Amino acid sequence: MTAADESPTPSDAAQVVIIGAGPAGLTAAHELGKRGATCTVLEADTVVGGISRTVERDGWRFDIGGHRFFTKVPEVEARWKEILPDDFIRTPRLSRILYRGKLFDYPLKAGNALKSLGVLEAIRCLLSYVWVRLRPPRDQTNFEGWTASRFGWRLYRIFFKTYTEKVWGVPADQITADWAAQRIKNLSLTKAVWRAIFPGRGKTDITSLIDEFDYPKLGPGQMWERCTELVTAAGSEVVFDAAVARIERDGGRATTVHAADGRSFPCSAVISSMPLGELVLTMDPPAPAEVQAAAKGLTHRDHLLVALVVPEAFTFPDNWIYVHEPGVLVGRVQNFGSWSPHMVKEGRTCLGLEYFVFEGDELWASSDEELVDLGAEELARIGLVTDPSVVEAGYVTRMSKAYPTYDEHYAANVDVCRAWLATEAANVHPVGRNGMHRYNNQDHSMVTALRTVDNLFGDHHDVWAVNVEEEYHEETRVLTEVPTVPTGTGRSAPIIPRRD
Ligand SMILES: Cc1cc2nc3c(=O)[nH]c(=O)nc-3n(C[C@H](O)[C@H](O)[C@H](O)COP(=O)(O)OP(=O)(O)OC[C@H]3O[C@@H](n4cnc5c(N)ncnc54)[C@H](O)[C@@H]3O)c2cc1C
């Protein structure tokens, strides 16, 4: 019998080592505690929450990009309320697109867009649409050709090109059309023109865009800080500054997890939320060359937040604004005062400028001072403040591996890593977002952790089926999607090319 054929038994839960104190790792630890088992959580960083942390600087609290608590999974909803019974607030939801000083509805409505662009620009856009019907782009297999063929070049350049390229860091004609086909739905120019001529039906105003969502009053980090308290109260340990560097294995199973500083932790099972490729590369004895190549092929897009404190006069009702203004690098601006009044101080708000980057690129390598200056200058350039000098303080957070990249090889690479782990390290269980190289939000990251713990106690869930089989669309999203949205199926997500 190979290790893969063995059914996990409760003894697998005897000495569990969890890698990562983000939502997935801490949920696994919490669930183990509820079942009377203890574990050791190894966290590379000095704080909990992973990408869902809330950063605190000088009393200001901000997320790595705002984190809504939204789920269609009742068991996750219940777990959130169990961990934080008294600290959720209902936050009004509003986000719009900023383009040439004007705010457009998001999700984008073609009628609203044409109206807000003004008569002249709307006519140009419609003519451009007619032109593209007569002369469609030759290559429609990429994002640019696909989108321009459906909306005309002008609307494509205004509402699709800039943001998409900022998010992925590659030209839109190198992104495959799959992403556009998946993301851009329910948007018809014909209908929009009809509504423009016969206004009234289907008309939207700001209030119709406002909705509500749950949010811990001190940010998502509050959830994971509280969860850590519960986990340690149940007898488990969370070890900080413990970056896992090597996993010793024997007979198709992991035996000891080693941190970079030499501390070692014997294990009966490992639940891992560290990036899947890195997990495979920590194995000792090492995986064969072709498996290592697949592991190295799993890449990510990184994220940088510049949080700027400004007087309350510059606040706005949106939780965030998508920046489609040409000539600036910032992709979105969060207003943390609109997420929770408890995150900001009297008379001020905190605006978080999101930059989509590659670790080590020019922006990433800039000093914090340079980034704060850049943020203040761009904020003024797009008109959200009158002058860079109104910025009273600034803080920078760099988050590597914020987005798993879905390139043309990623699915095959994931399969290779997964298959190898299943036979050669059968008691190592990948969970979460980077852990499975999948756009899992907090809720699905948590579900993968819960099902994995079930399996340690004898169940046989296919954890890789979470967030694949069910249809999970929070809303019909059109245009300008950010890559944080869970995908309906494994293959329907953005497919972007490998970075050279
Ligand atoms: C900009 C942005 C906005 C988002 N918005 C939302 C939202 O609105 N709602 C929502 O639900 N989700 C949102 N998400 C997704 C959410 O952040 C993730 O789903 C969630 O944090 C994934 O949890 P995780 O535990 O799998 O991974 P992570 O949060 O990545 O945590 C993994 C942990 O493992 C640690 N680690 C990594 N390597 C090692 C190692 N070698 N040794 C030890 N520890 C290690 C890391 O330090 C980290 O703490 C957003 C993500 C981004 C990038």
Domain boundaries, the chain: 3-52+74-84+221-296+407-465, 92-96+300-404, 110-197+486-500
pLDDT per position as a tens digit, 197-252 = 555 554 444 443 458 899 999 999 999 999 999 999 999 999 999 999 999 999 99
- Residue 217 near residue 344, CB atoms below 8 Å: no
Q: CB-hemisphere CA count at 13 Å for 120?
A: 0
Task: Write the pLDDT tens digit of every residue in 396-435.
Answer: 999 999 999 888 899 999 999 999 999 999 999 999 999 9
User: Of the CATH numbers 3.90.660.20, 3.40.50.2000, 3.40.50.170, 3.90.550.10, which one belongs to the domain with range 92-96+300-404?
Assistant: 3.90.660.20
Quick one: tokens of 460?
Answer: 């046989």
Q: Is the CB of 64 under 6 A from ligand 1?
A: yes
pTM for this model (two decimals): 0.88
Token representation of residue 396? 């920078």
Contacts of 172 (CB under 8 A, 6+ apart): 142, 143, 144, 147, 160, 161, 164, 165
Query: Cα of 375 to ligand 1 centre, how many Å?
Result: 24
Q: 353 Cβ partners below 8 Å, 6+ apart?
A: 305, 306, 307, 308, 330, 332, 333, 334, 375, 378, 379
Output the pLDDT for position 164.
85
- Residue whose CA lies nearest to ligand 1 atom number 12: 441
User: 208 C-alpha to center of ligand 1: Å?
Assistant: 31
Q: Which position has the token pair 């008309």?
A: 203
Higher-pLDDT residue of 439 and 34 is: 34
Give mean pLDDT, residues 34-55.
97
CA of 22 to the centre of ligand 1 (A): 6
Asked if 3-52+74-84+221-296+407-465 and 92-96+300-404 have one fold, the answer is no
CA of residue 44 to ligand 1 center, whole Å = 13
Looking at residue 244, its amino acid is: V
How many whole angstroms from 279 Cα to the centroid of ligand 1?
A: 15
For residue 288, whether the previous peptide bond is cis, meaning omega lies within 30 degrees of 0, is no
* Ligand 1 atom index nearest CA of 443: 11
Ligand 1: residue of 214, 278, 484 to mutate (most ligand atoms within 8 A of CB) is: 484
Give the architecture (CATH level 2) of 3-52+74-84+221-296+407-465: 3-Layer(bba) Sandwich (3.50)
CB-count burial class (<10 Å; 0-12, 13-18, 19+) for 269: buried
Q: How far apart are the first and last CA of the chain?
A: 43
- What is the per-residue DSSP string for 311-344? EGGG--S-SEEEE--TT----EEEEHHHH-GGGS
Is the alpha carbon torsion for 474, 488, 438, 141 positive or negative? negative
| pLDDT tens-digit map of 305-358 | 999 999 999 999 999 999 988 889 999 999 999 999 999 999 999 999 999 999
Give the contacts of 145 (CB within 8 A, at least 6 positions apart). Answer: 137, 138, 139, 173, 177
